[in-house]
Each structure stands twice: as structure tokens, then as C-alpha cells.
Structure 1
Amino acid sequence: MKLDWNDIPLLLALAENGNMSQTARLLGLDVSTVSRRVAAAERALGLRVFIREPGGYKPTDAGRVFVSHAEAIYDRVQTMLLDTRAEAEGMTGPVRLTAVDVLFSHWLAPRLPALLQEHPGLQMQLIAGNHDVSFARREADLAVRLARPSQDASLRMRKVGELGFAVYGMRRRVPLAREQWPEQPWLAYGEELARLPEMQWLQRLGPKRLVRVSSVATMVHACESGVGLALLPCVVGDRIGGLMRLDPTPVLYRDLWLLSHRDAGQVARFRYVAAWLAQLFAADAAALRGDG
């Protein structure tokens, strides 16, 4: 029995996230199909690639060796495909862009029509999220992230700006002095996101009451309704008529990074969209920082 080449990206995805259901969603398969193909691949290899632990699926020692070589092979294949398709594809075809949802909904979406009108052959795919993606497996072609990733020779990374965060409250309320902030109820993400710089700032402030939310959208609506104060990106808070800054100066900045596969520049549409994004970030630098 020979290993099916099509099972390699499946094994790599499972090794990366350790979750059968998440792997199935990522690849557009059902869980039973993923489980069956993993079992078939292990039979073909004649070894156990994964062990199931309480925290998810973990590669065995042999599995880690397999994953290391498979990733290197897929990276080379991706480079080959990019090289051979670059001339033929031009400005027609899909471009997978991933970013945090707040940038899509409050900043990028209004700017997309002009790009698509100029290049109707582009098929933009917007993937909201902040999780790690594999450029080699084309899970994304370009990514905007709020932190510099660890050094990776396969990545091209460029700082394109800063995202400012300010404190917002319901507009109809009397403005509060900074020394009064800790006495107010605050909206915060769940404890699983405690490492976010926004949540670390809030922890240092030391508010006495927290209302936990699971998304920026919920935080905005709750803040607008007077549930509590919120630390929001200025590109979000400044657009909401029912909110006002409690202090005109942002209290926190996070770096914006544009990432791609190191060979993505050889594909015209990837190169063009990356340059377009960089120009947008430069033109809107003040608004993104919350200075304008």
C-alpha cells in the first residue's frame, strides 16, 4: 500500500493544530473522512504518526520526523508552483488574505470595491482570524497580524503601521477623569486571551468589575449600551456614533505586520495586492494610530 500524496497536507494540518474537527473544517471535509485518511496513511507508512492525548493529537517521535520532512517538501513544491504559474496567471485568480476581523469590517471592506473595479479578475478571499497559517499549503497568500511572528526563513515580513487603542464609553454619560476609570465596570475578553496587550493593560489598570465578552462586536454594542468602558481600536471606536473617547490620546499601540511566503512576490497578483495594502496602511497611518 502506497502513501497517497493528497494525504500529506491533511497530516500536516493535524500536526499543526492537534484537533481532528478543526482539521476537517480547514480542509472542507467531515471528521470521519479525516480519521479514515489518517489511519490509511499510517498503514501505508507502517508506523503511528499520531497519538491521542487529552489535549488533542500529538505526533509521535517518528511522526515528528515525517512532519519535518513533509513540510520541507511542500515548501519546495509551493515554490515550484509559484515559479511556473507566475507568468501565466497575471492579475487573474484567487488571493487569500487573512487578518483580524476588526480590520476587515471597520477598515478594509470600504476600500475593496476600488481594487476589484480596477482588477475584476482578482478573486479576493477574506479569512478573519489571528491564528497561525501555513503559506506553503496556501491556507493564506497574505496575512496581516498584530505581532511580529517568530523568525522564519520561509516568510517575508514587513511592518506596515501601528494600531492605536483608546478608552471609550457611552457618549451620553458624563466624561470621567482617568483616576475614576478603575471604579467603573469594564468590558474584557475571556481569560484565555489574557496575554493580549489590551488585556494586560486592563489588568494593570485594576478595575474592580469586569464583564466578559467573546468578540469585538459584542464589546462595541455593550459599551454603546452603557454596560461598561472598553479599550477599543480607534478605527472601531471613532466610527461608532454612540461612543466617545474618555481621553483623546491612545493608551496602547500594537504593530501591524504584513506577511507572505518568501516567493509570493513572484506572482503578479500577490505582489500587487501586497503593495496595495502597504500603500493603504501608509495613507491611513494617522487614522489607524488614532492620531487623526
Structure 2
Amino acid sequence: MQQMPNWDLYWTFLHVIRHGSLSAAARELGLTQPTVGRHIDTLEDLIGAQLFTRSPNGLLATDAALELQPYAAAMAANAAALVRLATAQRDAVEGTVRIGASEVIGTEVLPQILAPLLETYPALHIELSASDTVENLLNREVDIAVRMAEPTQEALLVRNVGDISLGLYAHRAYLARYGVPRTLAELKNHRLIGFDRQTAFIRSIEKRFPMSHELKFSYRTDNNLAQLAAIRSGIGIGICQDSLGQANPDLVRLLPGAFSIVLPTWIAMHENLRSSHRFRLIFDTLIRGMLAHIELASGKKMQGPLAF
């Protein structure tokens, strides 16, 4: 490859592989379809490989495209991080901060923590990546992350905020129809809400509660928000964060002495961001907010100095 491809070519490539269509990528980019096509042709010429093949369902990525995709995505994440960092002023609380969190935390917990902050600082902008996929802080896919697995990379500023507890919950209406299980064994007679496939989380439960492999899920979904919605709708019995279950008067905690799980939780960000006032403010706000969220379920006063 004699010439380094322009960044615009990679940006177009990412949109085409995401949508599987030149026209859809063109609409999102605000370009014409011929322009998008020329970008792909140019990139293919520069790297010397075909990136897409046509099919009845649209454009299919070739092996070369799939190999290129994570590198192009990393370039996009770094470009976005560069803009966020370049606009960070030491004393001003304005600009964009990208936060990564699980679907449940991002949807059910963080809005209440961040809303007062956005009221106070109207020039502050939040990008929330609510996903159960762990995003890379070192590659700056996100600036700050709420993690249920301890970050082990160097060059990260990390604060443990305690353990999020989970238990079995059901709606009062469901229990009125089908009764309250008094033992784990009685769960076999109930409609259970769970995952659609074997996950590391499920395997850890089976190790801790050997009889759990005998249980059959009547309602399956790998989406944690969908499971939470099913519990709230009275479909059956499922696993829920205690702080969320206790906040809903229609939900009942079941078998607290027999079934309980804890998820150690951390707030982390790249240490290079600690000198920026806006990143430091959100980092500290998330620590305080998550401590309060965990305290709500445990009834214990969580204390400890902030990182700054």
C-alpha cells in the first residue's frame, strides 16, 4: 500500500459495514450514494482487497472487511475521544463526556444520578453507552465506566463503590395467583424468567446453587432490561437488583435467606483525564451516586474519600 487512506474512507466504511447498504450509509453520512460507493472503491484500491460482496440482502462484508473493522472502529473511538479531550477546559464544566455502563445501570440508575448535574451545568453533554459489553477505557471507547468486573489495566483511575446485591423477585399479582415459594426446590413449580443461553453469569449461579440447573425458564431473554420488565409485568420470578426491587412496592423479595448474589462494582476512568474539571466532576458524581444506590439496598452507610 503506497498511500495512506484518508480517514473519511474509513468513516464511510464503518457506516457501510454497519448498515450493509450504500444508500443507508449515505443517508446517515449526509452524502450521495455515488460518493459513498467511490469511497469504498478507493479504499479497496488502496488496501488491495475487496471489502464487500453483493447479495439479495444487501452488501456482505468479506473476511478482509471483518479484519479491518475493529481497527477502523478503534480509530473512530480515538477520533471522538480526541475531540472530547481537546474541548476540555481545566476550570469550565462544558463539553461531552462518554459514559459506559450496563443496560440496567445505564437505564435505571444513572439518569437519576446525572439529571441534577445537567441542570447545574447546561453546557455539559453526556453520551451514554448502555451495553453489557465491556468497552475499552484505554482505547477511549468511553471516558468513564461503571463496571461489575474489576478493571485490571494500568493507567486507570479506579474506585470500588461496594457490592450491588441481587435477589429473586416477583410481582404481587403473580404471587397471588401462583403462591409464594418457600424453598428453592419449589421454584420448579413456578414460571421463571431467565437467560436464553448459557452465560458465565448462569454458570456461576449453578456452581453456587447446585439445584439451579434443574430449573426450567418459561420466559427467556438475554436482555437484562427485558427480564426486569417481565418481572414488573407479573410474568414470573426472576433476578433483580435489590435496590430496584425494593423501590417498587409491587415487587416482593423471595427466599432472601436462600438466594442472594453480589456484584462488586467499580467506577473507572483513564488517569490522564483527572486534570479535566468536567471529567473529574462526573467521576466523583458517579461515585457518590452509586454509593447511594448500593446503600439503598444494603441499609449500610457507605463511606470513604473520593479519588480527588
- TM-score, normalised via structure 1 length: 0.72
Q: Distance in 1 between matches of 2:252 and 2:95?
A: 42
Three-state SS of the structure 2 residue aligned to 1:87 is coil
Task: Tell me if structure 2 keeps the 8 A contact 1:170–1:242.
Answer: yes
Task: Tell me if structure 2 keeps the 8 A contact 1:74–1:136.
Answer: no
Q: Distance in 2 between matches of 1:264 and 1:164?
A: 30
Matching residue within 155, 175, 182 for 1:177: 182
- In structure 2, the partner of 1:113 is 115
What stretches of structure 1 of length at least 5 have no aligned partner? none
- In structure 2, the partner of 1:21 is 19
Structure 2 residue 188 is matched with structure 1 residue 190: no
- In structure 2, the partner of 1:278 is 287
Task: Tell me if structure 2 keeps the 8 A contact 1:157–1:259.
Answer: yes
Q: Distance in 2 between matches of 1:98 and 1:77?
A: 14
How far the C-alpha of 1:156 sits from its partner, in A, is 4.2
Q: Distance in 1 between matches of 2:157 and 2:50?
A: 31
Cα distance change of structure 1 residues 190 and 21 upon mapping to structure 2, 3 Å threshold = farther
Question: What code does the residue aligned with 2:93 have?
Answer: M
Three-state SS of the structure 2 residue aligned to 1:48 is coil
Task: State the superposition RMSD in angstroms.
Answer: 4.4
Matching residue within 100, 103, 108 for 1:101: 103
Per-residue CA shift, 1:31-73, capped at 9, x if unaligned? 9777754442232x34338688xx9654589969x949x9699
Q: Distance in 2 between matches of 1:62 and 1:101?
A: 28
How far the C-alpha of 1:226 sits from its partner, in A, is 3.9
Deviating more after overlay: 172-181 vs 197-206 = 197-206
- TM-score, normalised via structure 2 length: 0.69
How far the C-alpha of 1:242 sits from its partner, in A, is 2.0
- In structure 2, the partner of 1:256 is 265
Percent identical among aligned pairs is 21
Q: Distance in 2 between matches of 1:248 and 1:144?
A: 26
Matching residue within 237, 241, 248 for 2:249: 241
Which structure would you say has the larger Rg? Answer: 2
Structure 2 residue 168 is matched with structure 1 residue 167: yes
Cα distance change of structure 1 residues 234 and 254 upon mapping to structure 2, 3 Å threshold = same
Task: Tell me if structure 2 keeps the 8 A contact 1:163–1:256.
Answer: yes
